[in-house]
Amino acid sequence: MHTRTRRTSLSLLSFALALSLAPLAHATDAQAPDGPRARPDALSLIPAPAHVERLAGAPFKVEASTPVWARGDAATRVARQFSTLLHSSGGPTLQVKNGNGKNGVNFVLNTALKTGAEGYQLRSNGDGVTVAAATEAGLFYGAATLSQLFTGNADGALPALRIDDAPRFSWRGLMLDSARHFQSLDEIKRVLDAMAEQKLNTFHWHLTDDQGWRMEIKRYPKLTAVGSCRIPAGDGGRDPATGAERPYCGFYTQDQIREVIAYAAARHIQVIPEIDVPGHATAAIAAYPELGTLDTPLKPLSEWGVFPNLFNTEETTFTFLENVLEEVIALFPSTYVHVGGDEAVKDQWEASARVQARMREVGAGNEMEMQSHLIKRLETFLEQHDRRLIGWDEILEGGLPPEATVMSWRGTEGGLKAASEGHDVVMSPVTDMYMDYLQTSSDNEPPGRPLVTSLARVYGFEPVPDALAKDKQQHILGLQANMFTEHTRTYARLQHNLFPRLAAVAETGWSPRERRDYADFLARLPHQLQRWQAMGIAYAQTPFQVEQDSRDDRKAGTATLALSTPLGYEIHYSVDGSPVTAQSPRYTAPLTQPLPIALQAATFFNGKALANAASRFDITAASLLTRNDQQLAMCPGEGKLLLRLEDDGPADGERAIFNVNIFNPCWLWKGADVDGIGTLRVRAGQIPYYFQLAHDEPARKFSPARSAHGEMDVLNGTCDGKPLVSVPLPATPGADGFITLEAALPRSLKGPQDLCVRFTGDTRPTMWVVDEVTLQPR
């Protein structure tokens, strides 16, 4: 589709009950605080240090003339990085000098200190500041802390204090998927900068998948010549001027990969490559068909979901994978190489006589054991090259070499099992650590999987399960946020999804468990927002915006507005058109106002607004008769896979967003007041159906079509059974991609009703979606 009229929100309905492609344990916040509350000893630092002691004495104030002292190459490097970070975070630019001195900042590398691999000491009084550590990494993290301290107060004054700090976990990571959507080198470097400022130390780079192979392999040039390009679905894959195919391409040369690795290493971040096997292999098989199990040619996919295409089990394919890993090892100095292992649907292996014969040759009793055979083969190869294998928790199935490390994504159970068996583990459960889930229930959220994984939810995650025996807890290396990018087409959306939640991940990874305090974290967060603004990081606005739910009384000509904000900060508002400031009325209870209403509201902390702009709600008697797809509920029933999907066009620029239950495309207006209503008007459009769901596909429900192109059905109180009224659907939508349908409601229908709108028929490769529904008076 091409155009869509956007609307002012009326009420915001949570879709936290939606199911994901992955199993989800729950969908509620880990904790629901009343709002920010600073600890008595709090400093504006994220992550919170392990030990802080306030001292008596004069503060030290940083100014543009303050010198930064360092002696030796390593300390000087860190001193220069500190000066750069301080300036980019909104502080002054300080000059680095050789030596040590008073009335300035001193960086001291002392290998005799007992600060550990990443720890540091920071001492401050009226004469200056000294940061000391036994390693360059520790000194760097002390520099990151000091930069935050100098930008945590308006006057740049640092109180006299003593900090002794070291991380709780050695693995504090972020996975970035560059296979589904491609990021430029500059964008990746900016992500690495933000990671380093938050003391994250592991960048897991997802470089291969069904939709694209993004890493140059010299021995197999078709991996990028063929496997790095796909044709996006619908209008996005066509040139708007000529209609010709418009491929989506991108890969990193080996020189570019070395550049990223060096950039990360300078910030003490290890880069872990991921080459996914045996599933998520479509792009590789498209490049070299002999790697697959089918004779049918494949192309890199412009669909999302779980696909059946696996690498075959031939010795030549194992050799191919080892040859690829040879070049990976030559590029990446990290100890770990990630081999995926997830979501490998075995249908093709089960149907292949050759794979079954191969299983007998190697002694694999079933397909999971065949996958285990492959994983063990690669683990042995990596071990011979002084590397360690890591994979998603599915690699536990069928047996696992003791040296392998498990990344637990399907909850924490796989990690608990692996650690109990003596494997090292990184916790990254989909329930808490997936950044492609929405931050809030706001209709200003970008496309994604609409389970709400809030900031509180992320912060409340504990990586060490209580059920894990104490003598096995050392196997929990740490935690990792995962940023899959099916729905993250732009860098702006990537920033929205990562920030501020990545700060919560950083604090969980660094700070002692007893130091974590969500209410205090919220009190420290506003200063971090200011640093991100200075750094040019476009963090999500939705957690700091105001949401509202309205209850209307059309007969009285009034509406009652209940305001809320996801993080519990103060809300101030205006209804007279004046700008919202900290001096505007503070919201404390629902507001009943005569129609029309033009309300503005904003969140504040310590007198400062937290969002870039106030939220605005314009409510009229006419607008109360319309609900858009984001304000409608999904119909109840067994089949639920709610997604927040982006339109397929225009080819460039912003696109409309629709909430769709792809298992049961049906929209529900709960409690619609139909007194005096004669017609239900529905604006609907078509978008591509671009999903493969493997064994979940039978859960997709279609109401049978009763005419050539199907119907729009309107039902009452249920989404099954005989409709109140049906309207035939056209073969295609209009030139703008939409149609408007009108359904006459029975005159006998009175009072509040649950009105359900559904579309009949299997229209794939497209699907109908609701844009908005309007009650039209007689």
Using alpha carbons, select from 557, 591, 589 the residue that is nearest to residue 575: 591
List, by residue number, the catalytic residues.
209, 280, 343
* Cα distance between residue 715 and residue 693, in whole Å: 28
Query: How many contiguous H segments (helices) and E segments (strands) does the chain have?
Result: 16, 43
Q: Which long-range contacts (CB under 8 A, 24 or more apart) does 423-426 make?
A: 423/475, 424/475, 424/477, 425/475, 425/476, 425/477, 426/171, 426/173, 426/390, 426/477, 426/478, 426/479, 426/480
Q: Which two tokens stand for residue 476?
A: 């929990």
Q: Tell me, what amino acid is at 675?
A: D
- Where are the strands (E) in 622-734, listed by range? 626-628, 633-634, 642-646, 657-661, 666-673, 677-688, 691-693, 711-716, 725-728
Strand partners, 730: none
* Cα distance between residue 318 and residue 283, in whole Å: 17
* Cα distance between residue 244 and residue 604, in whole Å: 50
Using alpha carbons, select from 736, 560, 753, 743 the residue that is nearest to residue 672: 753
* Cα distance between residue 671 and residue 30, in whole Å: 30
Burial of 100 (0-12, 13-18, 19+ CB in 10 A): middle
CB 474 within 8 A of CB 443: no
* Cα distance between residue 606 and residue 637, in whole Å: 46
* Cα distance between residue 772 and residue 778, in whole Å: 19
* Cα distance between residue 206 and residue 283, in whole Å: 14
Cβ atoms within 10 Å, residue 774: 18
Edge-to-edge strands of the sheet including 738-744? 626-628, 766-777, 677-688, 738-744
Q: Tell me, what amino acid is at 562?
A: A
* Cα distance between residue 682 and residue 684, in whole Å: 6
* Cα distance between residue 328 and residue 274, in whole Å: 9
Q: Which two tokens stand for residue 241?
A: 């001027």
CA distances from 128 to 103, 119, 390, 767 (A): 5, 20, 45, 65
* Cα distance between residue 447 and residue 645, in whole Å: 5
The pairing of strands 388-392 and 336-340 is parallel
Terminal Cα distance for the chain, rounded? 31
CA distances from 631 to 83, 597, 642 (A): 48, 19, 14
* Cα distance between residue 498 and residue 724, in whole Å: 45
Q: Which two tokens stand for residue 336?
A: 């770990």
